[in-house]
Structure 1
């Protein structure tokens, strides 16, 4: 039997605080979502000025990254390269860059999804959050 690390609430708060700091430093109005390895929402934070739609997109990006154990950009690129049939895949809807898997020792602990600015900037915010816990 294997042992696996899990996100604790203290980790989630640390990730969220660092992601928020990155967004505020750049004056980006975004929504930040953090999910566990099953894609279940642990944190949702919509910063002032973030579009209401971003509160749906950020968790979807995180969900996709967690379930697949890959950053959501992988799927955006896949679709953009012509694999449009992937749009019919079940249980995934956040197929845009900005969902970043939280990986430790080859295991997925969850993911951070961000929405509200350019997709590459969303991913930058998510990575800044994850870096705060040393991953």
Structure 2
């Protein structure tokens, strides 16, 4: 039997708060989503001024990242480079940059998805939150 790490609601709120603070600092209006390792919603925030569609996009990016254990931007790049087969998958979406997995001690514990600014900026916000979250556990 193995020990399994997982995100708590407090963890989700920590990630959400750090992503939100970074977005405010950069004057970005985005939607931010935290999901668990199964891609199930744990915490979400749509900032004032963020388009309603960004809430769904952030969730799909986070789910894509969680279930693949990869950055969602990886799939965007694969599609841009001609692997169009990914577009036929009805049960897999959110293949745009801005979803980042949260790996702790080699285990996937969840993902952060962000939508509302340029894709690389969405990813930057997610990575900032994850780095601050994981920094709590380093010695």
Q: Report the TM range for the smaller structure's normalisation.
A: over 0.9
Equivalent pairs counted in the alignment come to 135
**2:75 aligned partner:** 75
Q: Hey, what's the Cα distance between the residues in 2 that align with 1:16 and 1:4? A: 22
1:84 is displaced (CA, Å) by 0.5
**1:54 aligned partner:** 54
Q: Is the 8 A contact 2:104 2:134 kept in 1?
A: no
1:91 is displaced (CA, Å) by 2.3
Q: Where does structure 2 lack aligned partners over 5 or more consecutive residues?
A: none
1:90 is displaced (CA, Å) by 4.2
Q: TM-score, normalised by structure 1?
A: 0.97
Q: Hey, what's the Cα distance between the residues in 1 that align with 2:55 and 2:134? A: 26
Q: Write the mapping of 1:1-135 to structure 2, written as runs, cut at 5 A.
A: 1-134=1-134
| Ranges of 4+ aligned residues in structure 1 off by more than 6 Å | none
Q: Hey, what's the Cα distance between the residues in 2 that align with 1:89 and 1:108? A: 23
**Deviation digits for residues 6-39 of structure 1, max 9, x if unmatched?**
0011111110100001100000000000100000
Q: Hey, what's the Cα distance between the residues in 1 that align with 2:75 and 2:81? A: 10
Q: TM-score, normalised by structure 2?
A: 0.94
Q: Hey, what's the Cα distance between the residues in 2 that align with 1:108 and 1:88? A: 26
Q: Hey, what's the Cα distance between the residues in 1 that align with 2:90 and 2:130? A: 27
Moved more, 48-57 or 83-92: 83-92
CA RMSD across the alignment: 0.9
Moved more, 15-24 or 89-98: 89-98
User: Which secondary structure does the structure 1 equivalent of 2:2 belong to?
Assistant: coil
Q: Hey, what's the Cα distance between the residues in 2 that align with 1:57 and 1:39? A: 13
Q: Hey, what's the Cα distance between the residues in 2 that align with 1:92 and 1:74? A: 14
